[in-house]
Structure formats: structure tokens, C-alpha cells
Amino acid sequence: MEKNQKIKCVIWDLDNTVWHGILSEHDNVTLRENIENIIKTLDSRGILQSISSKNEYNDAMDKLVEFGLDAYFLYPQINWGSKSHSVNSIREKLNIGMDTIAFIDDQPFERDEVGSVYPQVRCLDVSQISLLTNREDMHPRFITSESVVRRKMYLQDEQRNLEEKEMGNNHAFLEGLNMKFMIEEATVEDLNRVEELTIRTNQLNATGYTYSYEELKGFLNSTSHELLVCELEDKYGSYGKIGVALLEKSEEDWYINLLLMSCRVMSRGVGAVLLNYLVNKSVKTKKKLYAKFYHTGRNRMMYIAYKFAGFEISSRIDENAELLIHNGTSSHDYPHYIKLQFPANTRVPG
């Protein structure tokens, strides 16, 4: 586990944790002291929350509705199965790493069961709840506009997924979303979110390198660099800023020093749009396009995207890193079901 890894999701037990008493034994359960404020504070920081509780689903959800807390928990796992199975189900639905999860339960057995299966999870006793919001790993470096509405965006994702399941036709579903993909030059107002993306994004990150706010601000003032951000919208709302590219430019050569895309949009068929934009732009302007790639153990999908886009190995940086070069001829079409918007000073390539 990385010591500085921030928590992305807190998974709560219910009985004698969120509330005092055992619901299935017909106790007159009452909320734990200050728990409502703690849950709302974590939510305001963009930390997601869910539930792993051994209870009857409807009874537990009715009680959460009564307490006015039901909307704060994504994909609640309320059943009689193992807690480790529930934790993994939540992780899969949120598409986050185990090492970004905290699990809170009053029972040592349950904490040990989860910890034995997933040692990356931070398993906490109820005695630590009162100090939860003071923990360093519960404090994101920045609270961005995306942080504040992160839970809402996941709820929108749930609506999309339900519609996709009902339609049973992925192609028709994507066409009906009315997606709009925007690529823009980054501004100072974007930098907190860009830094957050470099920290939070693992699977679709070509280098795994984390840029600080100060470094990113320097690129904005550099004539040899172009920092791009992209945003995705559909009929359900905005996904927020979901992609970043850092291009280093010389007279003849361009280098992609950073390329990442939020895992939340993997199933929307837009993962390669930003890369294809850079490829098409370089082909049209006859620039040699290089890309730095660092194998992190989690980003193989991004490596495959480079290969499909026409990149080959130019040289090896070290045993875990390569300098890729584009073949200079392959250009790519964009998905027809996406409306594209590119930087104002750039003609739409491709």
C-alpha cells in the first residue's frame, strides 16, 4: 500500500457502526453521534461512500431513508454474504483500486476477513470514526468542481448503465446518448483538476507520473508546450474533465509527455479520441510524433491504444519505459455518435 495514497471510497458497516443497535434483532437503532456530519463532510470532499452490511436489504434501506442518508451510499451491498465479496463488488462497480478503500466495521472478525483477502484495504474500527475526517488520507489535496459533484456523476452513470442494460444494444445506446466531446487548451482554473487526474488515474495513464500544480502552471506559460484537457457531456449531464494531454513541441518533432483518460469513460467508446486527435494533427502538419510510455503494471490498456493508433518502439528509456514513435501515415476517424469540439485555433483534424 502506498502510504500517501488517498482514500477514494469509505465502505461502512451499519449495525453498531453507522447506528447503535442491531436492526435484525428489532433494536430501536439510533444514529451514531455526529455520523451524519461525518458522512456529509466526506461527500463534500469527493470521497465516495458505500455499505457492506449483513442485514435484510429492504429493512436496512428503509432505515437509511428514515435517517435521510440513503442517497449518500453508492451500490450498497446489504446481504448475508462475506464482507470481502461485498467490498470487491463495490470496487468493481466504482472501478477504483483496493488500496483506495477504507472499510469500517465494529466486528474484529469482519475486519480481519476483509483484510486477509484484500490487505490493501484500510480496515478501521468504530473507535476511529470520530477522528475520521481528520485523517490525512481523507483529505484530497484539492477540492475541485468535479469533487463536489462526484457522487452525482456516479449516480448519472448508474442511470446510463440501466438504460444500456434495458436496450441490450450497445451501439444504439451510444448513439442515443447525444455525446459531446470537447478538447480545449487548459487554463489556470483547470490545473487543480488536472493534478487530481494525474493522481487518481491509473489504468488509462501512459506514464503514471504525477505533475504538481506548479509544474502544470509552468507549461501554460511555455511556448514549447501545449497542455490540453477534455470534457465529455451527454443527455444525463457532464462527466467533468476526464482527460489530459501534455505535448512538447519543437520545429520538427512532437512528444506526448503525458496522456491520460478517466476510467469512467472506458465503456463510452471515447478512450482514444484524444490520442487520435494528436495523431491526426501531427500527420496533417507532417510532424514526427513521439510518446513516452512507462509500464506501471496497471496501464496495459493504454499501451494497446498506442499500438492501435500506429505507434512503434523507437527506443527503450529503461527496463520499464519506452519511447514510441508514430508511423507518420495512419490517421483515424472519430466515432460518428460523438459531436466533437476542438480548440478554437485548430482546424478539426481527421
Tell me the average pLDDT across 19-48.
94
pLDDT, residue 344, reads 64
Percent residues over pLDDT 70 in the chain:
97
Three-state secondary-structure class, residue 158: helix
pLDDT, residue 149, reads 84
**Among candidate residues 111, 115, 110, 83, the one with its CA nearest the CA of residue 99:** 115
Residues 6+ apart with CB under 8 A from 199: 6, 141, 210
Whether the per-residue pLDDT at 3 is higher than 60: the answer is no
CA distance 274 to 230: 8
Instruction: Please report which confidence band the pLDDT of residue 161 belongs to, taking 50, 70 and 90 as the band edges.
Output: confident
Whether the per-residue pLDDT at 155 is higher than 70: the answer is yes
C-alpha distances (whole Å) from 65 to each of 68, 72, 80 are: 5, 10, 21
pLDDT, residue 4, reads 62
Tell me the average pLDDT across 303-328.
93
Q: What is the DSSP letter of 334?
A: P
C-alpha distances (whole Å) from 151 to each of 81, 171, 231, 308 are: 26, 27, 17, 33
- Which structural domains are found in the chain, ordered by start? 9-138 (3.40.50.1000), 145-341 (3.40.630.30)
pLDDT in tens, 264-293: 777 777 888 999 999 999 999 999 999 999
pLDDT, residue 1, reads 39
Three-state secondary-structure class, residue 92: helix
Instruction: Please report which confidence band the pLDDT of residue 99 belongs to, taking 50, 70 and 90 as the band edges.
Output: very high
CA distance 350 to 341: 13
CA distance 99 to 7: 8
Tell me the average pLDDT across 234-243.
90
